[in-house]
Amino acid sequence: MSIKLRVVLDWEDEDVLRDLLVPADLKLDDLHMAILQSFQLSPGEMASFYRSNEDWDQGEEIPLMPFDPRQTSMKDLRVDFVLGEKEDRLLYVYDFLDMWTFFIECLSAEEPETDQVKVLLIQGKRPAEAPERPDAASDGGLFDDLDMDLGEFDDYDA
């Protein structure tokens, strides 16, 4: 069986996407490389997939290289395990400094079987730099809810 995936770059300026046909038994670390190649990104940075839902909420992390030996990594999971049914979704983040972010959705599971990744559709051109995320002004949630007036600390006497 083969799985048809749509991979969309998170960018508000232009639709940039790739449709990929992948073997169902492809490991996620190989999907990671296929995404990099299809978007012409250089390998060598950290990356993670995140399970997601219909609202694209970020769920369980599936890292390229786990820091916890009990955590499942990309090399441990097959595509059909996480994207085997229509409308299954993952988020994919590449390069944690630049934060290239992609939405991945299963479009269909189909026959005939393929033994290699095939790019079926290329739409849009990837920008030279990672698009700034709308929540980039945020620190990622750590202090988002902290409402503190630091003005009072400017007036203390030494």
Q: Is residue 156 in a domain?
A: no
Q: Is residue 146 in a domain?
A: no
Contact 107, 6 (CB under 8 A): yes
- The predicted structure's pLDDT at residue 138: 47
Tell me, what CATH number does 120's domain have? 3.10.290.30
Assign 22 a pLDDT band (cuts: 50, 70, 90): very high
Q: Is residue 120 in a domain?
A: yes
Q: Is residue 145 in a domain?
A: no
**In the block, residue with structure tokens 């190989």:** 30
Q: Give me Rg for the CA atoms of the chain.
A: 19
Q: Measured between alpha carbons, how far is residue 145 from residues 33, 55, 69, 140 in Å? A: 36, 22, 32, 11
- The predicted structure's pLDDT at residue 157: 52
> Of 155, 1, 20, which Cα lies nearest the Cα of 92?
20
Within 10 A of 130 (CB to CB), how many other CB atoms are there?
A: 19
Number of domains the chain contains:
1
Q: Is residue 118 in a domain?
A: yes
pLDDT at 148 over 50: no
**CB half-sphere exposure, 112, CA atoms < 13 A:** 3
pTM of the model: 0.82
Q: Is residue 8 in a domain?
A: yes
What is d(CA 37, CA 31) in angstroms, rounded to the nearest whole number?
10
What is d(CA 125, CA 128) in angstroms, rounded to the nearest whole number?
9
Residues of the chain above pLDDT 70, percent:
84
The residue range of the domain holding 43 is 2-131
Q: Is residue 149 in a domain?
A: no
pLDDT at 118 over 50: yes
pLDDT at 136 over 70: no
Assign 137 a pLDDT band (cuts: 50, 70, 90): very low
pLDDT, tens only, 43-98: 999 999 999 999 999 999 999 998 888 889 999 999 999 998 888 999 999 999 99
Torsion angle in degrees (nearest 10) through CA of 136, 16, 49, 108: 150
Residue type, 40: Q
- The predicted structure's pLDDT at residue 35: 98
Q: Is residue 147 in a domain?
A: no
- The predicted structure's pLDDT at residue 106: 95
What is d(CA 155, CA 55) in angstroms, rounded to the nearest whole number?
46
